Amino acid sequence: MKVLGRRDELACQQVVELVTDYLEGALSRSQQRRFESHLQGCEHCTEYLAQMRATIRLTGRLRAEDLSPQMQEEFKDIYRRWRSEAS
């Protein structure tokens, strides 16, 4: 079967569009095999996949600041109002 490209091989341009499905485990078994066999022979796509993983890691480092004491007070007010409403 020649669905995509010659000898069923994926082109680099297709690989970069399948990276997320690959990382999400959403490729079919045969797609995954083709994806991985492409990576074995392609250092550039291997690098690309590593960059996507690095991107996910770097994005995961973002952290917002903790709740300020002032905001804690506001939320205590919310709680207390609710308590007096509920009782």
What is the phi/psi pair of residue 70, to 5°?
Answer: -65, -45
Instruction: Enumerate binding residues for another protein (CB under 8 A).
Output: 5, 11-14, 16-17, 19-21, 24, 26, 42, 44-45, 47-48, 50-52, 54-56, 58-67, 71-72, 74-76, 78-80, 82-83
Q: What is the smallest separation between the CB atom of 86 and another protein, expressed in angstroms?
A: 8
CA distance 12 to 18: 10
Residues 79, 85, 86, 87, CA torsion sign = positive
Q: What is the smallest separation between the CB atom of 30 and another protein, expressed in angstroms?
A: 18
